[in-house]
Structure 1
Amino acid sequence: MRKANAPFMTPFADRELAVRMAEMARTLAGERSLDAVLAEVTSAAVELIPGVDTAGILLIKKRGEFESLATTSELPHQLDILQMTFDEGPCVQAALADTVVRTEDFRTETRWPKYSPAVVEIGVLSGISFKLYTGDRTAGALNLFGFATRDWTADDESTGTVLAAHAAAAIIATQQEQQLKAALLSRDRIGQAKGVIMERFGVDDVRAFEMLRQLSQEANTKLIDVAERVISTRPNGATS
């Protein structure tokens, strides 16, 4: 396990990082779950970046909802709760605004007057967070913390940036898969609703779809929701 800096290196010039990234690339290409891929990222951050004692991923969704994912200990989740409670902190800032947010010593950190003292009390003195470009409706950050002060280096930032990009790619791939499944399900349900209308009113599929679309516009309701309502009017046990 490497915990010392070379005089100068790029992320992919560092053989250990290159090997680890190749392993994670194979993981991403396989059938592993999103949780498994993100766990690889956070464990790699602790292993490869000097001064990192614990790591996690924060996803912030609409309406203030958030998730703590792939934490290497319970601590990152506790820190996420503090940040969402205080509405301030490096993870939130990286997730919503800045690309990289560094703190060398939380004892002297003034950007987050509520969060910083609480973090020090828990025993965390340093941290670095990397924005995850995860999509329009979800913001995220890869968050790394240390129990000692740390002057984060260019190598630390380069390694973290590569790991964050890998995590973001896994999240985006999962979102796209979910969207595809949702689209296929919607198409299937709309098809069933068309079948109900065709049977009930003796119209063809084009006219049935136009009727659905008109109902959707008049009720200012999503087409899939109208389709669900139409399907629910079938007698029990009937199929389209």
Structure 2
Amino acid sequence: MSDQRKLRSVGPVPQGGEPRPVQLADELSDLARGLHHADAPDDVLREAVQAAIDLVPGAQAGSVTALVGGKHVQHKAESGSLPARVDSVMSELDQGPCLDALLLRRIIRVDDMSRETRWPDFAPRATELGARSMLAFPLFVEDDSLCALNLYADQAHTFTDESEHVGRLLAAHAAVAYSGAQREEHLLAAIETRDLIGQAVGLLMERYSIGADRGFGTLVRFSRQSNRKLRDVATELIRDAEAGARK
């Protein structure tokens, strides 16, 4: 989904170190509406990364890191080659600020990667690639860890307390929108699966002159015998019936 929003700069920090609250609230309201209209979970993440680059002071590039099944790292919504290369190194070494933000559920800030000691293998390689400053935000709703939003800059000491403040608010909006998009996607998939199974059962009832219960039991038996998901068996049965009807 292309983002047509024209996000304004948050502007200079007034005395006291806080961003302009009214202007920031307007920007986050625009973001919330844009995320709500995203078509799919991955669209939400792409919107969030672009908004972070536009809104978080110092951010030059961004990405999202997800932990699937508690151990498999997936990289989503990378804004350019720098995040892609740095995230690849993080996956290879299984260490870095993105993973820490995801697992520890707290903001991880790197002021100068060349002097970083928390990730002795990752830091030198990230520095060599050009990631001198990093800022990683956990995206989570209640007890569910979802992803980490990662921001990058090519100069040291780029991110400030204001960067953390704006990024924290943005990450909260993104987490809620992403969780909602996932639920909607799962619901639509469940409805589609139910409809497919219903069609397949109907075909079996007609083909073998049996009732609905026996038709469903037959479909389940096919699924177990072939060690395949019920949805896949139903889809194949419908596809074969349609192909036969065209002959």
TM-score, normalisation: structure 2: 0.78
Is the aligned partner of 1:42 residue 2:49? Answer: yes
Contact 1:127 1:144 in 2 (8 A): yes
CA deviations 1:60-119 (Å, max 9, x no partner) are 435735223051x32111211111122111112222333211212212211211210112
Per-residue deviation, 1:35? 5.8
Per-residue deviation, 1:19? 1.5
Matches within 5 A, 1:109-124: 109-124=116-131
Which one of 62, 68, 92 corresponds to residue 76 of structure 2? 68
Partner of 1:53: 60
Look up the SS of the partner of 1:88 in the other structure.
Answer: coil
Matches within 5 A, 1:187-198: 187-198=194-205
Query: Compared with structure 1, are the counterparts of its residues 137 and 158 closer, same or farther at alpha carbon in structure 2 (3 Å cutoff)?
Result: closer
Per-residue deviation, 1:198? 0.9
Worse-superposed segment, 61-70 or 90-99: 61-70
Partner of 2:114: 107
Structure 2 unmatched runs, 5+: 1-8
Contact 1:61 1:137 in 2 (8 A): no
Look up the SS of the partner of 1:27 in the other structure.
Answer: helix
Partner of 1:168: 175
Query: Compared with structure 1, are the counterparts of its residues 113 and 31 closer, same or farther at alpha carbon in structure 2 (3 Å cutoff)?
Result: closer
Give % identity: 34
User: For the aligned residues, what is the CA RMSD?
Assistant: 3.3
Look up the SS of the partner of 2:148 in the other structure.
Answer: strand
Structure 1 unmatched runs, 5+: none
Is the aligned partner of 1:205 residue 2:219? Answer: no
Partner of 1:133: 140
Question: Separation in 2 of the partners of 1:104 and 1:235?
Answer: 61
Contact 2:40 2:185 in 1 (8 A): no
Amino acid at match of 1:142: L
Contact 1:134 1:140 in 2 (8 A): no
Partner of 2:28: 21
